Amino acid sequence: MYCRNCNQDCPTSTSGLNQTGILLFVVLILFCLPLCWLPFVVDSCKKHICNKCGFPLD
Ligand SMILES: [Zn+2]
């Protein structure tokens, strides 16, 4: 993933949920509780950070 802070492709790690993930999580809790774990395994729902500088990427 490209990091704007390092200006290069950096390895990333995931930490917590991004806005989409939080929204999906809330919706699932309200309407489909058995599936509320889904945002935690879907990659596009997770917040990515640069491994070198910790800059948040999306
Ligand atoms: Zn970086």
pLDDT tens for residues 40-57?
999 889 999 999 999 998
Q: Ligand 1 centroid to 29 CA: how many Å? A: 34
Q: What is the pLDDT of residue 34?
A: 97
User: For 1-23, b where at least 16 C-beta lie within 10 A, e where not — what string?
Assistant: eebeeeeeebebeeeebbeebee
Mean pLDDT of 28-39: 96
Q: Ligand 1 centroid to 48 CA: how many Å? A: 11
Residue 13 has phi, psi (to 5 degrees) of: -130, 160
**Cα dihedral sign, 13-17-18-24:** positive
Q: Ligand 1 centroid to 34 CA: how many Å? A: 36
Residue 34 carries which side chain, given as an amino acid letter?
A: P
